[in-house]
Amino acid sequence: MAWSPTVTRTESRIVAPITYWARPWLAALMVAAAALALAGCGAANGDNAGKDGDKSKDGVPAVPVEVAATQRADMAAIYSGTAPIEAERRAGVVAKVQGEIRQILVDEGQRVREGQLLARLDGDQMRLEVALAEATMRKLERDYARNTELQAKGLVSATAIDNLKYELEAAKANWELARLRLSYCDIRSPIDGTVTVRAERVKIGNTVMPAGGVIATSDSALFVIEDLDSLILRIAVPERELAKLSVGQPAELSFDAVPGRAFTGKIDLITPIVDPTTATFGVRISLTDIGNLLRPGMFARVAIVYERKPDALQIPRTALLDGDGPPKVFVVQEGKAMERAVQLGLSNGAMVEVVSGLKDGEQVVVVGQGALKPGAMVRIVNTPARPAARTQPAVATG
């Protein structure tokens, strides 16, 4: 019987008829397909085997984590604060007598010496007062000399001589006072320094008045003189830090106005009392290295170094577990996460000192702690290299 072609239907596709001469090729194609299927099964089994390798003996998958090795570096304990800098030697110059401004001899930015003339008032009235006081004094000097001669002859009583003597002394004092008031017409600098403020009202022809006995301020002063080489700053420190600070301790300062430059200073005064309203005490810091770059009014960030620890054992702060009680970390040992309590010392924000509980080179979990339980199997997904030791400014943990 002759062979006739057949048609096979699968879903919506029709397979073309296969003739007798194509059967050897069909057999080869089926063998290749079977080989590919076996290879795919083998690969799948291999993947499953790899995944099974990340499981513990009870079949629980290992938790992927990142770890960091402990490191040693120097740490410095600091107290941080902020304050504007000011000149320790600063003087507000006010008018001591009333008068019209006749001369202005300096302006802002000029350096002046102690006693240098800044401005001059008219002083017409004061000169007349000096002349009147001098005339009165000369008359009394003559009267006293004449009556002394008469008293030697017994013609004038001792009481009259004493009265003339007291009147003469009063007249001399009035004369000196008038001369002093006249000298106040010359407005002079009381210190060496730089003119940092010249009041707007300091103009030729303006009449100025005495300050009325109040302490001179930038508003009441005609001129402000500051010694730009004697810069200080004052900070208010909480009373709990009192035992940590002492006179002579160094301070590190930075300024936004001078980026990338560090300045040094030291504590030269700690106030002996605590302000009961703010529970703070005052600390004065003198700047020892200003390099002609700083000016009064600049805002400073201050770090007072009160303790240093060389070669302190440290871990990243992110290794600490959240929760109450003593601080704890997970330490990786033989592929397992072991919970361990640690005692902390200093901290610089990113790194913390470990006083006890860890050893050099131990690995602590820094990422993935939330999914861990003590004794859980872990799979490290990073390469924990020990960073090189470096000095870290730090603050004490509370």
pLDDT for residue 156 is more than 50:
yes
The gap between the terminal CA atoms of the chain, to the nearest Å, is 102
pLDDT for residue 372 is more than 60:
yes
pLDDT for residue 191 is more than 60:
yes
Q: Which is more confident, 336 or 24?
A: 336
pLDDT for residue 181 is more than 80:
yes
The per-type count for the chain, helices as H runs and strands as E runs, is 3, 24
For 236, the token pair is 């208010």
Share of the chain above pLDDT 90, in %: 58
Could you give the CA distance from residue 72 to residue 75 in angstroms, rounded to a whole number? 9
Could you give the CA distance from residue 125 to residue 365 in angstroms, rounded to a whole number? 87
For 273, the token pair is 């009392």
Strand partners of residue 230: none
**What digits encode the pLDDT tens for the residues 89-134?**
999 999 999 999 999 999 999 999 999 999 999 989 999 999 999 9
Could you give the CA distance from residue 215 to residue 198 in angstroms, rounded to a whole number? 17
CA atoms within 13 A on the CB side of 374: 7
pLDDT for residue 393 is more than 50:
no
pLDDT for residue 325 is more than 80:
yes
For 100, the token pair is 């019209």
For 51, the token pair is 């995944």
Residues of the chain by 3-state class (helix, strand, coil), percent to 5? 25, 40, 35
Task: Count Cβ atoms below 10 Å from residue 270 Cβ, excluding itself.
Answer: 15
Residues in contact with 247: Cβ distance below 8 Å, sequence separation at least 6, in sequence order? 267, 268, 269, 270
Question: For position 277, what pLDDT does the model report?
Answer: 94
Could you give the CA distance from residue 377 to residue 123 in angstroms, rounded to a whole number? 95
Task: Count Cβ atoms below 10 Å from residue 254 Cβ, excluding itself.
Answer: 15
Three-state secondary structure call for residue 175: helix
Q: Which is more confident, 213 or 189?
A: 189
CA atoms within 13 A on the CB side of 309: 21
Q: What is the rounded (10 degree) CA torsion for 366, 371, 372, 378?
A: -70
Give the pLDDT band (50/70/90) at residue 152.
Answer: confident
DSSP for 256-277?
TTEEEEEEEEEEEEE-SS-BTT
Q: How does the average pLDDT of the chain come out, rounded?
A: 82
Give the pLDDT band (50/70/90) at residue 12.
Answer: very low
* Pairing label, strands 250-255, 258-270: antiparallel
Report the run of H or E that residue 347 belongs to, with start and end: strand 343-347
Question: For position 273, what pLDDT does the model report?
Answer: 94
Q: Which of 16-25, 181-190, 233-242, 256-265 has the lowest mean pLDDT?
A: 16-25
pTM: 0.62
In order of their start, the domains of the chain are: 63-75+309-396 (2.40.420.20), 80-88+228-308 (2.40.30.170), 93-120+187-227 (2.40.50.100), 124-184 (1.10.287.470)
Instruction: Name the residue among 181, 173, 175 with its Cα closest to residue 126.
Output: 181
Strand partners of residue 69: 363
For 205, the token pair is 């022809």
Task: Count Cβ atoms below 10 Å from residue 162 Cβ, excluding itself.
Answer: 10
The arithmetic mean of pLDDT across residues 351-379, rounded, is 92
Label residues 78-90 b or e (16+ Cβ within 10 Å = b): bbebebebebbbb
For 176, the token pair is 């000196």
Residue with tokens 């004094």: 137
pLDDT for residue 146 is more than 60:
yes
The arithmetic mean of pLDDT across residues 40-45, rounded, is 41
* Pairing label, strands 90-93, 223-226: antiparallel
**What digits encode the pLDDT tens for the residues 47-84?**
444 444 455 556 678 899 999 999 998 888 888 889 99
Give the pLDDT band (50/70/90) at residue 20.
Answer: very low
